[in-house]
Amino acid sequence: MKEEIRKNIENSDVLEKLYQSDKSTFKNMFFEIYPEISHVVGAKFWKSRLEYSQRDSAKIKLINKDFFSLVISFIVTYVFIKLPTIFSFGEVWQELFYQRNIPIIVFAGLIVYSILNGQKLAKKNLLIILTSLLIITYINLLPINESSSTNLIYIFSPLLFWGLYGMWVINFDFKNLSKRFEYIKYNADLIVLGALIAISGGIFSGITIALFSTLGLEIETFYGEYVIIPGVVSAPILAVFILKIIPNLTRKIVPIIANIFSPLVLVTLVIFSISTIVSTNNPFNDREFLLIFNIVIIGVMALIVFSISGIFKNQKYTFNKRILFLLSSITLIINVVALFAIIYRLDRFGITPNRIVVLGSNILIFINLFQMMIALYKSCFRKKQEFQIETVIAKYLPVYLLWICFVVFVLPVLFRFA
């Protein structure tokens, strides 16, 4: 076949017949003699065609490998989630197991998926695994009694594992601020995709339960225990798999959604702020009102972060930047009110773990919001000013991680796990 290829290199009909007769041999023979015929235009065309088919083949193999990794990760996650059933935990211990270990199980599934996909287990990665095991041990040795400080551990431990997974993803390249912010945008993509998976899963579950109910079979308990719970825990792994196969699937959706909702949220915040002034309810005396204040602050911060993307640096997006500047300004005012309310409640009702955490979190958010507002102001109103909000957000991430570590490890000890 080698000679046939050489003689007919400019005869596309003959080469096509040779190729179709034995594709594998044709490829091998062609690349052996290519250095001799590389000057021929037809040879360059066939080289591009054969290399393209090789890339497709390699991509299919990679997808198959990723799918295998996904299935194994699902199995590992499912085994972990069913441990209470396997070892016949009592109802109290079963509830306690899920309360303490759901974030750990999700994190373990993601790490297993990463390892199976060929990520090398360097010393740094092993350090993350060892640290995770120590945290797991600490959380599962907590006192059984319900208390404010232990409940805070359950709330903040998912954020701690989120930080550890971030270190894994950026490969401990802490100095690279762009990698830090890429991890934030990656999480935004995961949230959007996760929401779509959740909606699809909810519709499928509703249809499944309804179909079986028409047959007189009530499968809600069985379906919830063996499908819904494992499915919810496995959803983040599925989202990571989809984004790996189709990296840009949601990359443009997140900023578009965020930029659509930014003006709506701005109008809502203005109306809410005016209503607060005339309302009899206030965050100083109403605990639930203060909680809503804090949820609003965190939600708006997330909206601002998700609105930032690579295309956002373009000057034609000045309107969006100004919306976000106004949004950050109003949220900063709400944050100041929340801070005064927390200090007032501390003075009147005393110090508790919850109040300390809310106060500390609000102070950190206030500083970060102020930095973001300044960066947005410079970007909006100083033409020559370089767009720096991504840097501001990326630089502040370690501060949040240190605060999370304080809440999980130090605060409960100070309050003797009360």
pTM for the complete prediction?
Answer: 0.78
- Amino acid 54: pLDDT: 52
Answer whether 345's CB lies under 8 Å from 290's CB: yes
Residue 88 has phi, psi (to 5 degrees) of: 55, 55
Of the candidates 161, 131, 184, the residue with the CA atom closest to the CA atom of residue 305: 184
- Amino acid 122: pLDDT: 73
Residue 45 has phi, psi (to 5 degrees) of: -60, -45
The whole-angstrom separation of Cα 349 and Cα 344 is: 8
- Amino acid 192: pLDDT: 83
Placement of tokens 């100004």 in the chain: 322
Q: Where are the alpha helices (DSSP H) in 141-249?
A: 148-169, 177-214, 220-223, 229-245
CB under 8 Å, gap of 24 or more: what pairs does 18-27 form? 25/1, 26/1, 27/54
274 exposure class (CB count in 10 Å sphere: 0-12, 13-18, 19+): exposed
Q: Where are the alpha helices (DSSP H) in 279-410?
A: 287-307, 318-349, 353-381, 389-405
Of the candidates 125, 132, 126, 131, the residue with the CA atom closest to the CA atom of residue 107: 132
Q: Compute, in degrees rounded to 10, the torsion defined by CA atoms 205, 211, 213, 215.
A: -150
- Amino acid 414: pLDDT: 92
- Amino acid 56: pLDDT: 47
pLDDT averaged over 10-residue windows placed end to end, the chain, 418 residues: 75 77 74 72 71 51 71 87 83 83 87 77 82 91 87 91 88 82 85 87 91 87 84 87 77 74 87 80 79 84 75 60 88 90 89 92 93 86 68 90 94 89
- Amino acid 365: pLDDT: 93
Answer whether 165's CB lies under 8 Å from 187's CB: no
- Amino acid 294: pLDDT: 85
Q: Indicate the helix (H) or strand (E) that contains 135.
A: helix 123-140
181 exposure class (CB count in 10 Å sphere: 0-12, 13-18, 19+): buried
133 exposure class (CB count in 10 Å sphere: 0-12, 13-18, 19+): exposed
The whole-angstrom separation of Cα 382 and Cα 386 is: 9
Q: Compute, in degrees rounded to 10, the torsion defined by CA atoms 41, 43, 45, 47.
A: -150
Q: How far apart are the first and last CA of the chain?
A: 81
Placement of tokens 């270990």 in the chain: 101
236 exposure class (CB count in 10 Å sphere: 0-12, 13-18, 19+): buried
The whole-angstrom separation of Cα 375 and Cα 244 is: 32
Neighbours of 131 (CB within 10 A): 13
Give me the half-sphere count of Cα atoms (radius 13 Å) on the Cβ side of residue 25: 11
Of the candidates 368, 369, 348, 345, the residue with the CA atom closest to the CA atom of residue 357: 345
